[in-house]
Every structure is written in C-alpha cells, then in structure tokens.
Amino acid sequence: MATVMSDLRRLGEVRAPAGFALRVMAQAGVADSYAVFPTVLGPVYVAWNGLGVSAAMRSKSALEFEEWFARDIGRPLVRAEAPAGMAAKIEDQLEGKRRLRFDLRGLTPFSQAVLHKTLQIPRGQVRPYGWIAREIGHPAAVRAVGTALANNPIPYFIPCHRVIRSDGVIGNYGGGGPEAKRDILNLEGVQLQRLQTLARSGLRYEGVKSTKIFCFPTCYHGRRVREENFVFFHDEAEARSAGYRPCKDCRPAAA
C-alpha cells in the first residue's frame, strides 16, 4: 500500500509540457489555434478553429498578435501547425477565390451582415460604404457600416479594404491604416488615381454608350471599354434621365 501511494505521489509531481493544456483545449474546440503565413502582403498571423478563420493581422511579433487576440477576441489561443491545405486556401482567398470559412462569433448580427456583404465585392473592385448599408437593408446606417469594417477581425480575407467613401477618399483601414489600404488596392489592380479624379469632379458613375448601362467606376464591365466610349454621371437621377439603367452586377442603384 505504501508503495502504491508513493507511486501516485510521484505521478502527481509530473508536470505536463508547456502549452499542453491549451493544445488540448484547441483540439476540443475551446481555444483557437494560430500560425504565421507568408503572403503577397507579407507575413500574416492567422487564427482559426473548427468553425473557420477567426482573426488575421500583420503583427510585428507572435506576442503582439496573442495580446491583440486576447484583448479583442477574448478566447484562449495556442500556436500550432497549420492544417494541410490551409496555406493554399489563404493564397487563393487573396487572389479573389472564396475558399475560407469564417468564425464571426462575438460580433453583432449587424456587423456580421456587413462583413458577409463585403465578402461579395470582387477583387479589383470597390464599393462605397453607402452601398453596403443599402444592400443589407439599413440605408441610413453608413457610419455604423464604417465602424463595423474598422473593427473587422479578419482583414485581408474579408476585404474591407474594398470599401471606400463615396467622394473617392480611401478612408481608414483596420488592417494597417490608409496607406496599407492603398497598397492592397493597387496590388489588386484598382486604378485609384482615375477613381479619385472622378470623385473629385463629383462623378460617381460611369456609363457605357453601347450598352446604356451605368456602373461603379471599378466594375469589370468597363475593363475593356475605351475611355471615349464612357459617359459619366453625378448621380442616379442623371444617369436614368440620360436613358441608362443600373448594372445588375455592381448594383450602383437600388432596383
């Protein structure tokens, strides 16, 4: 009996490896895992769980990412090996192919609606904050849309960088500020100088003379149109009075 008790005491003194408890929690779905991935944007720290990607950030260090995650997400986090194929999915997502799933728990239904709508903006195109507000059924909530996008926990992959002000100003960006937003849009092929020149002139829409359709200036319908075949409009009423109808893809106006 004494020998058994001695063995039990020795077992109780054995300590689990560092991080063992967190790894068990991650496997059980209670904690999130994370790793750093090389991307066209540079190294990006990405957190995930069984529901999908839960956070992303271009952090200076793993510690900075962990501290931000604890503060903003509020769940345990453990560094881990990335699942097979995740790096390829991340690369595809940045190229405009929607291959990632996302965990948006903790966000309000309004913020989730904003981010799901933002996912629908194609790579290389932009939309104004007001478009998001109208599309989710809250046309007056433009400021609230901006707040939801500023607090997007998964920038880059949920492309809040593709949402700008209607006056052409880039606006703020939770993924690294206006300059980072500008760099990513340039990388995606957005003609920012043209876009901002039109916006400064008060021109919000471009129409194609041959189709009599008007679009947002970055819509793919205008990619192969020569500049002389465009006509520009200040607002929806001006476009409609000229005999143009809204594009069904970029939806510059309500149906």
Query: In this predicted model, what pLDDT tens digit does every residue of 1-48 receive, in sequence order?
Result: 556 455 545 555 545 454 444 444 444 446 899 999 999 999 999 999
Q: Cα dist. 68→22, 43, 77, 174 in Å?
A: 17, 16, 11, 13
Q: Is 219 a catalytic site residue? A: no
Cβ atoms of 219 and 250 within 8 Å: the answer is yes
Which segments of the chain does DSSP mark as H helices, in order?
A: 2-13, 20-27, 62-72, 86-94, 109-118, 129-135, 142-150, 177-187, 192-200, 236-241
Query: In this predicted model, what pLDDT tens digit does every residue of 39-96 receive, in sequence order?
Result: 999 999 999 999 999 999 999 999 999 999 999 999 999 999 999 999 999 999 999 9
Angstrom distance (rounded) from CA 135 to CA 117 = 8
Angstrom distance (rounded) from CA 228 to CA 208 = 10
pLDDT at 152 over 50: yes
- List the catalytic residue out of 160, 215, 219, 250: 160
pLDDT at 122 over 80: yes
Residue 16 carries which DSSP code?
A: P
Query: In this predicted model, what pLDDT tens digit does every residue of 133-147 receive, in sequence order?
Result: 999 999 999 999 999
Helix 109-118 to helix 142-150 angle (10° resolution) is 80
Instruction: Compute the average pLDDT of residues 97-106.
Output: 94
Q: What is the DSSP string of 210-223?
A: TTTEEE-TT-GGGT
Query: In this predicted model, what pLDDT tens digit does every residue of 209-253 receive, in sequence order?
Result: 999 999 999 999 888 889 899 999 999 999 999 999 999 999 999
Is 128 exposed, middle or buried, given 0-12, 13-18 or 19+ CB atoms closer than 10 A?
buried
Q: What angle do CA 21, 25, 27 make, to 5 degrees?
A: 115
Q: Can you tell me whether residue 225 is helix, strand or coil?
A: coil
Q: What was the pLDDT predicted at 166?
A: 83
How many of the other CB atoms lie within 10 Å of CB of 86?
A: 17
